[in-house]
Chain A
Amino acid sequence: MSALLQFLIAGLKNGAIYSLVALGFTIVYAATGAINFAQGEFFMLGGMLGVLLVNLGLPLPIALLLAVVGTAAIGALFEVLAIRPIADGDPLRIIMVTIGGSVLLRQIALHIFGPDEVPLPPFTQGTSIKVLGAAIELQTVWIWVLTAIAMVGLFLLYRRTAFGRAMRATAINREAARLVGIDTRFMVTASFALAAGLGAVAGLAVAPLTQTAFDVGAGIGVKGFSAAILGGLGNPVAAVGGGLILGMMESLTAGYINPLYKDAVALVVLLAVLFVRPQGLFGGSGREKV
């Protein structure tokens, strides 16, 4: 019983991280119709910048905040330099550019930060919370809170603010949005900044548990993308749902079948779901984005 509970907690922890990365995919997909393959690198950059700033002697909260803002700025810069020149082009071309961008970001990180894994202190010091024989790390609680805030925040942003409505308008029809006076180029840049910032939040939230390194982006990119398409691309709630289900499947496979098969089982389930429901578990008709 306590074992099952521990597996579920682990599944929800990893799932929440996948969700945060999946949200980044969702945001960029909504604005451009393309998959941003560099999303995993923003996850890596967040963690590495956080460690760098902490090592420079900044207090943890300020270092975390600056790391998120810094990564968002890098995301915006990446869009302006690499995506904007082809912004009206084919989503496949954008995808190719982001693949190249991810390689570039990783190599730059290798040269700046070195190849070693580096630790980040936990957000809150203290012992784990005990629930019915299972333990919840305080950092896991942080991960859940941050994921919930990100999901609700994005939902409100899209539904309740002029900025969010402008983003949705850009997603639905860029030409029409431009005609009514929306700066669609800025909206695409903003979507990259937002996605990068969320990736950084995820990278920072995980770093105290696992340490981080320049090469953590690729693996988490696959997980986040899988979560996004499992839930249904283009919808924040679906992305979070997909992430949690993916994390849970992995954890239960590791717990009851074999830890070495968890990635394979998750991938098989993902392909099976896509075969039956191409729009993802929670995806709509595919007309309405975000």
Chain B
Amino acid sequence: MARLGTARWCVTVLLLLVLSIALVGCSSASSSSTGSGSSGSSGSPIKVGAILSLTGPYAALGASEKNALELEVKRINDAGGLGGSQIEVIIEDDATDEAKAVAAATKLIEQDKVVAILGATGTGQSMAVRTVINRAGVPQISMAGGNAITGTFDPLVFQTPWPNSIIVPFVLKKMATDGHTKIAVLSDSSGYGKDGLAIITADAPKNGMTIVANEVFKPGDTDYSAQLTKVKNSGADAILLWTAGKEGAAIVKQAESLGLKLPMYGGSGQAKIEFPKGAGTAAEGFVFGTGKSLVPANWGAGTDEFKVVDDFATRYQAAYGAAPDIFAGHAFDALNIFADSVKRSGGDTSAAKLRDAIEQTSGLVGFGGKFTFSSSDHNGLAEKDLSLYKIVNGTWVPIQ
């Protein structure tokens, strides 16, 4: 039997291995379509594309979003659709990868001829598809919380979550109120982490806090000893974790086992049940800021927001046996803003008309809060829509 043992051969195999990972990634991208039942529809369905991270570090987020989209599409179609037309949502998995998000956007626009793009799940992916969106002139409603998405303004791009620009100062204020002056920041090197870090470094001094350790990790990393050791030796009195990926749970867990007993804070990235579930007791006492709707009662019974969020939560619970997390809520908002706009445009889904209709969204009560867009603000949410939570006994409870 021939045995090859040269360096060149090993290098070739190594490259092959790296290539195979890329290929495997591609092969895991899949698409599914929901809606467009033939029942009672007149005319062809309105096609909407959704780019979700169903696999990779944001898999938990994408799964909730997919659930919410399917639930809402069914509700709208069962009620007769939009002006007699059924909605069909075509879902593409971007595997939490920017290049695959671009490929998905291209496919949705070129092949499926969608009239709008919902997504992506992540900030990096949402920003990456912008060139495709612009070339086609198709409006995009992102479900990611990076500030850049609407902060770096694009007339075609809208955003449903509370962006970093309002959540970061909100959480920093809480840290300052709790008496912290020297903080350590742990963020991931993806779009969302970088986006948050920029605001953290700008805003911490305004709250009287110095960043004594600024550590970054890569999505997909599994060991954080280096970062956590540096945090431990920095003299920090609290940690701010800014990431939306699954790494959050492992980091909190490792911090505990390395004997790092500092109060920890975070943002929307920790508002998913996988975080306390994965981190176990290590997550106890973790404080994070995100939207009020994570616990609908925050709005106060009888308010418009409570009615909308509670109705969605009840239907979601009935369909999937679990309460919706905020990511499900962001998808709910994206689809409903789209549906509301189509109604107001009188069913005209041509790109320019649809974009204008979305921009004219006014007072639409959703999961994130009351959405009112303008020609300079494509998010419309504010600090009043936020609330603080603490992890207690493996779940979150609202705190002041």
Interface residues of A (CB under 8 A from B): 2-3, 6-7, 9-10, 13-14, 33, 35, 37, 88, 90-91, 95, 99, 102-103, 106-107, 110, 114-117, 119, 127-128, 130, 135, 137, 174, 206, 209-211, 213-215, 218-219, 221-222, 225-226, 229, 233, 251, 254-255, 259-260, 263, 270-271, 274-275, 278-279, 286
Tell me whether A117 and B20 are in contact in the complex, defined as CB-CB below 8 angstroms, given that A33-B2, A91-B1, A210-B222 are known contacts. no
Partner of B14 from the list A9, A229, A251, A263 (CB cut-off 8 Å) is A229
Chain B residues whose C-beta falls within 8 Å of the C-beta of A218 in the assembled complex = 20-21, 24-25
Partner of B259 from the list A103, A114, A130, A259 (CB cut-off 8 Å) is A130
Complex Cα distance, B216 from A128, in Å, reads: 24
Partner of A110 from the list B55, B62, B221 (CB cut-off 8 Å) is B55
Interface residues of B (CB under 8 A from A): 1-7, 10-11, 13-14, 16-18, 20-21, 23-25, 27-28, 54-56, 59-60, 62-63, 189, 215-218, 220-223, 225-227, 229-230, 233, 246, 249-250, 253-254, 257-259, 274, 277-278, 280
Tell me whether A90 and B2 are in contact in the complex, defined as CB-CB below 8 angstroms, given that A128-B257, A260-B218 are known contacts. yes
30 examples of A-B residue contacts, CB within 8 angstroms: A6-B225, A6-B229, A7-B225, A7-B229, A14-B222, A14-B223, A33-B2, A95-B16, A103-B23, A107-B28, A115-B55, A115-B63, A119-B278, A127-B257, A135-B258, A135-B259, A209-B254, A211-B278, A218-B20, A218-B25, A225-B13, A225-B14, A229-B14, A251-B226, A254-B227, A259-B215, A259-B217, A275-B7, A278-B6, A278-B7
Q: Among the interface residues B10, B16, B230, which one has the most CB atoms of the partner chain A within 10 A?
A: B10
Partner of B10 from the list A211, A254, A274 (CB cut-off 8 Å) is A274
Tell me whether A116 and B59 are in contact in the complex, defined as CB-CB below 8 angstroms, given that A226-B14, A274-B7 are known contacts. yes
Shortest CB-to-CB span from B120 to chain A, Å, is 16
Tell me whether A110 and B28 are in contact in the complex, defined as CB-CB below 8 angstroms, given that A115-B59, A135-B257, A209-B253 are known contacts. yes
* B249 near A211: Cβ-Cβ < 8 Å: yes
Complex Cα distance, B6 from A3, in Å, reads: 39
New contact pairs (16) apart from A14-B222, A91-B3, A99-B20, CB-CB < 8 Å: A3-B230, A33-B2, A33-B3, A102-B20, A116-B59, A119-B278, A128-B259, A209-B253, A210-B250, A211-B250, A215-B55, A219-B21, A221-B21, A229-B14, A233-B5, A255-B229
* A274 near B11: Cβ-Cβ < 8 Å: yes
* B20 near A128: Cβ-Cβ < 8 Å: no
Partner of A213 from the list B17, B59, B253 (CB cut-off 8 Å) is B59
Shortest CB-to-CB span from A29 to chain B, Å, is 9
Q: Among the interface residues B18, B216, B222, which one has the most CB atoms of the partner chain A within 10 A?
A: B222
A-B contact count (CB 8 A): 154
Which residue from chain A places its CB closest to the CB of B58 in the assembled complex?
A: A115
By Cβ-Cβ distance, the 7 closest A-B pairs, closest first, are A10-B225, A278-B7, A254-B226, A115-B59, A210-B222, A255-B226, A274-B7
Chain B residues whose C-beta falls within 8 Å of the C-beta of A119 in the assembled complex = 249, 277-278, 280
Which residue from chain A places its CB closest to the CB of B246 in the assembled complex?
A: A117
Complex Cα distance, B8 from A275, in Å, reads: 9
Partner of B226 from the list A90, A107, A213, A259 (CB cut-off 8 Å) is A259
* B1 near A174: Cβ-Cβ < 8 Å: yes
Shortest CB-to-CB span from A185 to chain B, Å, is 14
Complex Cα distance, B60 from A213, in Å, reads: 11
* B4 near A206: Cβ-Cβ < 8 Å: no
Complex Cα distance, B226 from A210, in Å, reads: 15
Chain A residues whose C-beta falls within 8 Å of the C-beta of B28 in the assembled complex = 106-107, 110, 215
Complex Cα distance, B2 from A7, in Å, reads: 42
Complex Cα distance, B5 from A33, in Å, reads: 10
Shortest CB-to-CB span from A108 to chain B, Å, is 12
